[in-house]
Amino acid sequence: MITRTVSPSPLGDIMQLTITNSRGASVTLSALGAGVVAVNVPDRNGKLDDVALGYANAADYIADGPCSGKVPGRYANRIAGGKLEIDGKHYQLPVNNGPNHLHGGPQGFQNQIWKVESAENQSVVFTHTSPDGDAGYPGTLNAKATYTWTDADVLYLTLEATTDAKTVVNLTNHTYWNLAGHNSGNVLSHKLRINASKYLPTDSTLIPEGVEVPVAGSPMDFTFDKELGRDIRLPFPALTYGKGYDNCWVIDNHAPGVLATAAVLTDEKSGRVLEVETDQPGVQVYTGNWLAGSPLNKAGRSYEDYEGVAIECQDFPDAPNKPAFPPTVLSPGERYIRHINFKFITK
């Protein structure tokens, strides 16, 4: 079942759609940024709670610092200096994160109202057209985000794009998760396991240095179930640069087009477990280090730092400027397609 609500905003009317499955669990999506604004799933005793961070008002998602729940673009994550080169031609993108370009700039896909192309059979399809020159990017890009919510409490997300000129594209979902309930406090006791034996170290502005480094023996090691808060305050460069985790891990044995487990998040108190699968090569984990001061949440207060964790499956940050990284150039006639699956279970 899909129900709809419409809320006014400075950008125009924002449609939100709630998909409820046969078990009574539900997902609420927003046309603003093709975003996830609520996910109500059961704990081990069958009690439903909303495990996705989100705001009280639909319009509060416009230009929010956390980019909560949305699909950022044209290029998610950071591009150094906002500088881009394709076939010898240089492009300058807006700089909106220290010296760097982040999430497509201030007018990125996350701050646009996407078209609701269809909403039926427990699936919602959003589309967005980014014109040539939008935020400095070349080519007209047609993007599509398809969400499907199943009776088994799995949220499938397919991200697609085509272009009429060579450009770069990197799409993900930026939902913050708190499996104890979105209003339950910090997630530092959640346990995380990442299917990655290497990560991408960065400079102090969170731009990757261009090499893959083993996690073994460092606070970046999540090859086992580890509490998010166990090492988060250690004097380690990756943690001091961002006041917590905000790094990209290299998914082990990645093969293009092949789904693999990226990460598993567990809240032992509620018994909720989130398994994230993807065919993307990397996963950015961000522990909500700067959530304080966010718009009022669905319970009427601002979130504090570390009250949610984003698990963003994506291509590597600054890949357009790092030849050793998997390429992110999309050419006319090609189809960009990536998958991210969020599976909710209990134990």
Residues labelled as active-site residues = 174, 312
Question: How many Cβ atoms from other residues are within 10 Å of residue 209's Cβ?
Answer: 12
Helices (H), 94-247: 237-242
Question: How many Cβ atoms from other residues are within 10 Å of residue 237's Cβ?
Answer: 13
Residue type, 276: V
Scan for tokens 């697609």, then name that residue. 160
C-alpha–C-alpha distance, residues 11 and 164, integer Å: 27
Which residue in 270, 344, 308 sits closest to 47, CA to CA? 270
DSSP-based three-state secondary structure for 111: helix
Question: How many Cβ atoms from other residues are within 10 Å of residue 99's Cβ?
Answer: 12
* Secondary structure letter of residue 321 according to DSSP: G
